[in-house]
Structure 1
Amino acid sequence: MKIGVDEAGRGAVIGPLVVCAFASVSQSDLKRLGVKDSKDLSKKRRKELYEILIEMPHKVVICLPDRIDNSSNLNTLEVELFAESLSVMPEGHIMLDACDVDAERFAKNVSEISGRECRAEHKADENHLEVGAASIIAKVTRDNYVEDLSSTLGIDLGSGYPSDPKTKLAVKELIKGRLPHDCLRWSWKTVSDAMGTTPPPRPNSPQQTLF
């Protein structure tokens, strides 16, 4: 059994950070399906593969903006989230898409918290089918979340990333209340720049600017 773990939404200013652990029962099946890094697939194909892959063993962890803002360090938070995603995974060889510049350190930290032996590589989603599958589930889960949020709010949130023009416009709308909207990551520089000041901290937030 091969288990891959990847994330989606690390750098977004709107919406959650999503981590997925995926257990590959058959590498040949994943290859036949055309599984690869989610970034190399069209939105339509990602959704098609998502519907197939979610029927296979996996675990999704959705980390909302308040937890991100209350974290002292994004790398430390991702170690925790990767470990959480492994909590119900079967025994197997674990490969992580490294979120730290030091892949070996990232694997060591996740291993210590999860109690599982892990390996990590940069671009693991490109080089390991099980990590590619995890990246697809994480990406589509996050995209669906943001699309649902757009419908609920009646605002086109775009992708939720700071470089997206639609997201930039949405952020300006989402800071108009007494406090920034809960779907925003208040500690992101994008939010403070849009407000022209540092937003108040969320409860128990260390209030550091992460991005």
Structure 2
Amino acid sequence: MNAGLDEAGRGPVIGPMFLALCVSDRPEELTEMGVADSKSFGSGEAARRARRRICHELFSRCELRWIQIPAAVIDAHVEGGPGLNELERRAAECLLRQVRPLRRIVADGKTLFTSLAGKFPQLIAVNAADRDFPEVAAASIVAKTFRDDWMQAYERFARSRGFELRGGGYPNGPTMAYIQEWERRFGVPPPHLRRSWKFRKRQMELF
């Protein structure tokens, strides 16, 4: 059995990061299903629906594991802790220890995951692995689908408080406007904000 490992939500300033593991011995079947790098689907509702459809099918055809890493845990590791890379490696190790012995593990991120080969000799870490290894692309779709679903729920929460949140939680203009308006109105940062991000620290200096 082969496995692919990938994440979604490493860069946003709002919300958790998801890491997913897909175990499969039939990469050609994944390709026939339409599995591809999650980013290749684009953005928008049509892309989310396409990824979600494939994600649901993967649950019936593969062994899947995933982990959600909340913003507060990310902050604890970034500020005075071992850092985000080490947090992601520990999460990956946790997933890998949950599955049966594997013939090959492909992880997306050469610098990030190469050191795990000391514990998992069958692991290879490759940059842009989600483009060349279907099992990694499948993991990217699972992680991205969970991140999309979480973000959509958060956007509904924001609307219920009178905010229109755009930008997917990434450090961009719409997200900055949401953070600033929330703090202006309530005097505290919005929920699930990654306070350790450099983007956030620069914002605090400016405002």
Which TM-score band (shorter chain)?
Answer: 0.7 to 0.9
Identity %: 30
| Aligned counterparts of 1:182 and 1:80: Cα–Cα separation in 2 | 25
Q: What is the Cα-based RMSD across aligned positions, in Å? A: 2.0
Kindly indicate whether residue 196 of structure 2 is the aligned counterpart of residue 184 of structure 1.
no
Name the counterpart of 1:107: 114
Deviation at 1:39, TM superposition (A): 0.4
| Aligned counterparts of 2:22 and 2:189: Cα–Cα separation in 1 | 34
Cα distance change on mapping 1:197 and 1:87 into 2, 3 Å: farther
| Aligned counterparts of 1:197 and 1:179: Cα–Cα separation in 2 | 16
Name the counterpart of 1:206: none
Deviates more, 1:130-139 or 1:175-184: 175-184
Could you tell me which runs of 5 or more consecutive residues in structure 2 were left unpaired when the two chains were aligned.
Answer: 42-46
Cα distance change on mapping 1:31 and 1:68 into 2, 3 Å: same
Deviation at 1:45, TM superposition (A): 1.6
Q: Which residue among 70, 75, 81 is the counterpart of 2:85? A: 75
Could you tell me which runs of 5 or more consecutive residues in structure 1 were left unpaired when the two chains were aligned.
Answer: 199-211
Name the counterpart of 1:143: 148
Cα distance change on mapping 1:174 and 1:23 into 2, 3 Å: farther
The one-letter code matched in structure 1 to 2:53 is: E
Deviation at 1:168, TM superposition (A): 2.2
Kindly indicate whether residue 178 of structure 2 is the aligned counterpart of residue 170 of structure 1.
yes
Name the counterpart of 1:19: 19
Name the counterpart of 1:31: 31
Contact kept, 8 Å, 1:38 with 1:139, in 2: the verdict is yes
Deviation at 1:90, TM superposition (A): 2.1
Cα deviation code 1:55-86 (max 9, x no counterpart): 33111110001111100311111111211221
| Aligned counterparts of 2:199 and 2:84: Cα–Cα separation in 1 | 16
Cα deviation code 1:140-197 (max 9, x no counterpart): 100110110111232325311113x322222223434443233100011222233337
Kindly indicate whether residue 144 of structure 2 is the aligned counterpart of residue 130 of structure 1.
no
Contact kept, 8 Å, 1:66 with 1:182, in 2: the verdict is no
Name the counterpart of 2:158: 153
Q: Which residue among 53, 64, 70 is the counterpart of 2:70? A: 64
The one-letter code matched in structure 2 to 1:74 is: L
Deviation at 1:89, TM superposition (A): 1.9
Contact kept, 8 Å, 2:48 with 2:148, in 1: the verdict is no
| Aligned counterparts of 2:199 and 2:183: Cα–Cα separation in 1 | 11
Contact kept, 8 Å, 1:186 with 1:192, in 2: the verdict is yes
Q: Which has the higher helix share?
A: 2
Cα deviation code 1:70-107 (max 9, x no counterpart): 00311111111211221212222111001x5x36xx22
| Aligned counterparts of 2:100 and 2:196: Cα–Cα separation in 1 | 36
Paired residue secondary structure (1:70):
helix
The one-letter code matched in structure 1 to 2:39 is: K
Deviation at 1:124, TM superposition (A): 0.4
The one-letter code matched in structure 2 to 1:75 is: N
TM-score by length of 2: 0.83
Deviation at 1:8, TM superposition (A): 0.6
